[in-house]
Amino acid sequence: MRIGPGSSVDLVLHLDLLKETTEVRRAVIYDTEDNTYTLSQTNPPVRRSSIGMIYHITHLTRQGEQYVRYGFEGKLIDIIKDYRLNSYQSVQASIFRRQSGLDMYDLRVHYRVRPGVDWSYTFSLESRPVNLINISLGGALFSHSGKNKIEVGKTVQVMGQGTDGEQLPGILAKVKRVWASLESRQTDLEYVAVQFSTRDAGLVRELGREILQTQRGAAYKA
């Protein structure tokens, strides 16, 4: 699956994590070079004040009898007023730098953040400690020792604990993907992507605040 020049894409910007609202704008990819993507200007337009913000750049494609959406994170790095589209036409364009790999994407899934050193929670999966790679209100990605294999499609319980020792309500989640690390020297390291299937309202608000705080911190550093 490749998203390249000529592809129609949807730019997804998560505006309010706590109210679970997003904004989606349609664009076309003009050009790509390494991890830099030049896109058509959207309607309403992407403003220069948004430079540094993270969008999800997504593309809907047909696989067999169903449509599947793929996407990746892109940081807006510039807005060009007179991008040369051809020898006789100049247009506005937005420039994004790719920040993540290509993965399946659901417009209902929320903004993912990578926890910083001041992240307030630690997690366990089926009572086994795991390392949190990223998390959203819709799911999470963990790594763990693969000595005890986790099966794709299995429903598991994710437990969280705050730095103050407070135990958070358990979250039922479905295992969507499991794969081994090809880069780590730790040969039994395994990655597990889960999708939350049941959520406690209080926990959603708490995680939402934590994710929003992390998102704002990342935008400030950018």
Element (H, E) at 208: helix 201-221
Asked if 125 and 64 sit in the same domain, the reply is: no
Distance CA 170, CA 161 (A): 10
* CB atoms closer than 10 angstroms to residue 135: 27
Tokens 């400690």, residue? 129
Q: Where are the beta strands (DSSP E) in 2-88?
A: 8-16, 21-33, 36-40, 54-63, 66-86
What CATH number has the domain bearing residue 27?
2.30.110
- The two tokens of residue 177 are 């993907």
Asked if 57 and 145 sit in the same domain, the reply is: no
Is residue 206, in this structure, part of any structural domain at all?
Answer: yes
Distances (CA, A) of 74 to 3, 27, 50, 178, 187: 13, 14, 12, 24, 31
Is residue 109, in this structure, part of any structural domain at all?
Answer: no
Q: Using 70 as the pLDDT threshold, list the residues of the chain that sit under it.
A: 1, 14-22, 106-121, 146, 161-169, 181-187, 198-222
What are the pLDDT digits (tens) for 138-194?
A: 778 888 876 777 888 888 877 776 656 666 667 788 888 887 766 555 567 888 888
Q: Where is the domain boundary, 52, 72, 104?
A: 104
Is residue 114, in this structure, part of any structural domain at all?
Answer: no
Asked if 66 and 149 sit in the same domain, the reply is: no
pTM: 0.53
Number of structural domains in the chain: 2
- What is the domain range of residue 165? 121-221
